[in-house]
Amino acid sequence: MFKELSLSEHGLVHTLKSLRGNARGCVLTEPLWGIPFNLYSPYVSIYMLALGLNDARIGFLTSISLLFQIFWTLMSGAITDKLGRKRTTLIFDILSWSIPTLIWAFAQNFTYFLVAAIVNAVWRVTHNSWNLILVEDTESRLLLDIYSWIYIAGLLAAFVAPLTGVLISAFGMVPTMRGLYFLAFVMMTTKFLIMNSMVTETEQGIRRMTETSDQGVLSLVQESPMVLRHIVRSPATLYTLALMLVLNVSWTIRGTFWSILVSQELRIPDEHLALYPFVRSMTMLAFFFVAMPRLQRMAQLSQFGERLLMIIGFVGLLISQVILIAAPVGSYTVLLIATMLEGTGIPLTGTMLDKLTVTTVDAKERARTMALLNLMVVVGATPFGWIAGQLSLVNRRLPFVLVLALLILGGFVALLSRRVQTPVVISEAEHPLEAEMAA
């Protein structure tokens, strides 16, 4: 899949040029999903407010979405093994994104958003299968660079994000959002079809399809307790689970309530909101290309190893949240500083978490293991949409106090996790889970 190059030769640009096979298909098509998503996502909550929803109902929708995600997360590993990574990704991408973006485009009231949230929850299946297409036939040493490119693909929206503010100023929030959602439908659906033509089923995917050909999906799900026991016996995987939970809850709260805080509490006009995603994206782009290579070299010499990157990322995020919570009304500059600091923390925590998620789990049962990890994250995160909504009703800064507390916990976990080694790949002959299932 990749040319044989030493680690020192693999910069971000060289990695992109060297991409082959499934990784190439995943990375090169990602802008078709990332650009429209990042164009509309900063305004989702404001769009809901404009159509008559309040803070509590928005938080309720977040929790309802997470509730349905529990079901699809539980099913995702079995579905992915049964149908194969490639077929699962195409079917469930269209279900989870193409259909909801159309519903959001024509939304009139709470009911539309409720239906879209329920349908969109299916993305938990394709989240599993897409990740497996990306990583299973890819060298693990290249994953940090590859995940960096996945993030960069979404950041390309930064170059056109200011246009959103212009459109909102000219046409208003609701018409602009309807147009962005329809654009997302077209671009995302195109992405799903092109990617499907560029990728092939992974070797592990073919193997699991063969092994599960005589089993139904429910039968595979019923074997989850054995997979769960294997997770519990792996300290590295448990630390990864804790980090997944902290960061997922933090981003869920932030994604839901940031625009509400900034527009309603800090009194930044809606047409100016696009400035901040633009600045954050540009900061992240610069960070990926300028700071990340240097920090990676520094981490290799550190006693913390690559986890140093995540610890530094948590520090940046913590400081950014303190500044955001303390920001005075109408202060563009203070909000800009918080946004730039956040833009330095996301690349480090995000890419490292993505890499840890796929490298600390057993390769032979990666689909079902990742499904169960995601399930535990969704179950743990489900109450927080409602909690954050209630906090926002009291004071719109309080959800971010909760995020701050979660990030402190996450930094502590990242610090402790350095004591645990990432598990090595277990050979087929000594695979404990396989032996347990055979027994």
Question: pLDDT digit string (tens) for 54-79?
Answer: 888 988 898 898 889 889 988 888 89
Residue 208 has pLDDT above 80, yes or no: yes
Highest mean pLDDT among 57-61, 155-159, 230-234, 413-417: 57-61
Confidence of residue 155 (pLDDT cuts 50, 70, 90): confident
Give DSSP secondary structure letters for 387-408: HHHHHHHH-TTHHHHHHHHHHH
Annotate 125-155 with b (16+ C-beta within 10 A) or e (fewer): bbbbbbbbbbbbbbeeebbbbbbbbbbbbbb
Superfamily of domain 22-423+431-438: MFS general substrate transporter like domains (1.20.1250.20)
First to last CA, the chain: 37
Give DSSP secondary structure letters for 309-358: HHHHHHHHHHHHHHHHHHPPTT-HHHHHHHHHHHHHHHHHHHHHHHHHHH
Asked if residue 249 lies in contact with residue 380, where contact means CB atoms within 8 angstroms, the answer is yes
Pairwise pLDDT comparison (341 vs 299), residue with the higher score: 341
Instruction: Please tell me the predicted confidence (pLDDT) of residue 1.
Output: 46
Confidence of residue 16 (pLDDT cuts 50, 70, 90): confident
Q: How far apart are CA 43 and CA 35, in angstroms?
A: 14
Question: pLDDT digit string (tens) for 341-383?
Answer: 999 999 889 888 888 877 777 767 777 788 888 888 888 887 8
Q: Which of 378, 376, 370, 359 is nearest to 420 (CA)?
A: 359
Instruction: Please tell me the predicted confidence (pLDDT) of residue 95.
Output: 96
Residue 46 has pLDDT above 80, yes or no: yes
> Mean of the pLDDT values across residues 403-425?
77
| Domain boundaries of the chain, sorted by first residue | 22-423+431-438
> Mean of the pLDDT values across residues 321-343?
93
DSSP H helical segments within 94-172, as ranges? 99-105, 110-120, 123-135, 143-155, 161-171
Instruction: Please tell me the predicted confidence (pLDDT) of residue 430.
Output: 35
Residue 275 has pLDDT above 60, yes or no: yes
Question: pLDDT digit string (tens) for 304-314?
Answer: 667 788 888 99
CA distances from 83 to 90, 132, 133, 167, 212 (A): 11, 13, 13, 42, 9
Instruction: Please tell me the predicted confidence (pLDDT) of residue 404.
Output: 95
DSSP, collapsed to helix, strand or coil, labels residue 78 as: helix
Q: Which of 198, 252, 247 is nearest to 30 (CA)?
A: 198
